[in-house]
Amino acid sequence: MYNVKSKFSLCCWLMLLACSRPDNTLEKPLQALDPAGPANGSYVIIPNQGCEGCISTAESFVKNHISSTADIRYVFTRIQSVKLLKIKLGATVMYSNKVLLDTANTIPYPDKQKEIYPMIVRVKNHKVTEITYQSPESDGFADLLKR
């Protein structure tokens, strides 16, 4: 009888864990990087290494939309050289209050197979609600602009 109760408790515990939010491991690093971050909005997290076409697309997206999107912040992570990044993006983009540099590489990727792609993290009430990617298989930036 005791064994059945413990198995039932374990099963209930696992079901509760399975129903948790998309990823709460991103909330603390994002809050540390951006303490005044948006309660509702999005973060575009761009690795400096990975899928070159996807990263170039992300950098172009930042340049074209930095002033037109109020609820989006841009986080650059895995930076090899801040100086080279500044040359690629330009001083206007680099010194924007919407651009954050993760020089300590604290932003984790929940899906290790997708850590070469830009990640789009949606936040509602300071909680991560959805994670999508800009990759050859999905156009996360088009979805981001639709909302």
pLDDT digits (tens, 9 = 90+) for 95-118: 999 999 999 999 999 999 999 999
- DSSP secondary structure letter of residue 108: P
- DSSP secondary structure letter of residue 138: E
49 falls in which pLDDT band (50, 70, 90)?
confident
Contacts of residue 35, defined as CB under 8 A and 6 or more positions apart, other chains included, come to none
75 falls in which pLDDT band (50, 70, 90)?
very high
Which pLDDT belongs to residue 23?
52
CA geometry: angle 60, 43, 147, nearest 5 deg? 85
Residue of 22, 67, 61, 64 lying closest to 44 (CA atoms) = 61
Contact 99/93 with Cβ under 8 angstroms? yes
Q: What's the half-sphere exposure (Cβ side, CA atoms, 13 Å) at 53? A: 5
Which pLDDT belongs to residue 11?
46
Q: What is the mean pLDDT of the chain?
A: 84
